[in-house]
Amino acid sequence: MVSNIDKKYSEAKEQYSELGVDTDIVINTLKEISMSIQCWQADDIRGFEKLPQNISGGGILTTGNYLGKPRDREEYINDINKVFSLIPGPKKLNLHAIYGDFKGKIVDRNEILPEHFKFWVDWAKRNKAGLDLNPTPFGHPNSESGYTLSSTKKEIRNFWIEHVKRCREISSYLGKETGKICIFNLWIQDGEKDLTVSRLKHRDILKESLDEIFRVKYSEKNMLDSLESKLFGIGSESYVTGSHEFYLSYALKNNLLLTFDTGHFHPTEGVADKISSVVPFIRGIMLHISRGIRWDSDHVPILSDELISIMQEVVRSGIINKVFFGTDFFDSSINRIGAYVIGVRAVQKAILLALLEPIHLLEEYEQENKLFARLAVFEKMKTMPFGYVWDYYCEIMNVCDDKKWIDEVFKYEKDVLSRRK
């Protein structure tokens, strides 16, 4: 018996076919795109380390206190497993260094080892998932000054250089053991709240620190390095050492990936346009998708025009093989699991919308200067039955559709989250 979803998909397939789009090919392409899902949404960036001096700070702020935050690693894993069960397609978990398995011991960040992440390798293998990794330069006494890798104090700087070196070693281990390339993403909060005199001094120091960190080369079959900039943050409103221009220059010179966090730019800047501007020169791009409202507020991504335009730029440029897709947001004012699913699915939907565009037809009209026809097709795409294709994709991936997953989260909240006090 043919299901209602199958019938609607057949109708959509026929309509897209009239525009020269094969939806079966589109779905097969989407099946191969892995989503790197940030670990920190689940527990408000708490992690598992046992450092007694662990503190908040470094431009990181989670707002809200919705019920059900995991109290230990077992509850945390249960929540992540639930999230993964509600998101279609291949997935990776993007870890911060403070999420290692330290077995209840005090292990400072310049002492972490691959063995502290064996737990995650075993988890990833069971779930056929990949793993990415980030250093954790915030929430530590050695970052209280506002500077880490660009600190003028040698002992502070060396501490964080060692931390990042060890994170890169761990990244190589994660990629080798899982068989899926681990993206090591470097972001630091270094900067100042008010007027700054020594901008160049700190950037010279940061360059020297990065040169030391990247001196060791690891197999690209296991890991790739990426640099993430920021326009400003809490406590670094006037100056950020690792600016977009700084990291773009360093990545170009050293053949590294460049991370675009969609919340790390001015609200009037278009990230989509930046992508095709750097792609001819850059090794590749890591996308960290969030939704900034007035500042880098890391709101849950939704299927916005901005998000769609980013994915359209990737697909239209034919650079899917040069882009890694991930999310980077945290919101504890709503159900954390629900936030995860909304955000990651929004990114996947934006990719699907971009893949469904009749690019050859649009390019043909463009080359023949039939610009009214190009615009007409853009308008036509707004009323195409994209939702039927999405529902069908969820069905064949054995994942709940957009209505049923909401009920699943309600049930999980009632049966699990509400019992956590």
> Two tokens at 392?
């069908």
Active site residue 380: no
Tokens 């779905």 sit at which residue?
27
Active site residue 288: yes
Three-state SS across 366-403?
HHCCCHHHHHHHHHHHCCCCHHHHHHHHHHHCCCCCCC
Among 13, 163, 180, 230, the active-site one is 230
* Dihedral pair phi/psi, residue 318, rounded to 5°: 65, 35
Active site residue 261: yes
β-sheet bridge partners, residue 261: 288
Active site residue 228: yes
Among 177, 225, 328, 331, the active-site one is 328
β-sheet bridge partners, residue 155: none
Active site residue 160: no
> Two tokens at 370?
């039939």
Active site residue 403: no
Among 82, 140, 264, 274, the active-site one is 264
Calpha distance 136→52 (Å, rounded): 16
Amino acid occupying residue 116 = H
Q: Which among 227, 192, 189, 229 is positioned nearest to 210, based on CA atoms? A: 227
Amino acid occupying residue 150 = S
Active site residue 92: no
For the chain, what is the total number of helices (H) and then of strands (E)? 14, 12
Burial class (CB in 10 A: 0-12, 13-18, 19+), 134: buried
Active site residue 402: no
Q: If you compute the radius of gyration of the chain from its CA atoms, what whole number of angstroms results?
A: 22
Among 261, 313, 357, 391, the active-site one is 261
Using an 8 Å Cβ cutoff, are 288 and 299 in contact? no
β-sheet bridge partners, residue 257: 226
Active site residue 305: no
Among 192, 298, 331, 357, the active-site one is 298
Among 120, 123, 160, 187, the active-site one is 187
Query: Residues near 26 by Cβ (< 8 Å), separated by ≥ 6?
Result: 352, 355, 356, 389
Among 44, 79, 177, 228, the active-site one is 228
Among 116, 176, 288, 349, the active-site one is 288
Task: Give the three-state DSSP class for 298.
Answer: strand
Using an 8 Å Cβ cutoff, are 287 and 260 in contact? yes
* Alpha helix ranges (H) inside 214-292: 244-254, 271-278
Using an 8 Å Cβ cutoff, are 255 and 283 in contact? yes
Tokens 């039939």 sit at which residue?
370
Catalytic residue numbers read: 187, 228, 230, 261, 264, 288, 296, 298, 328
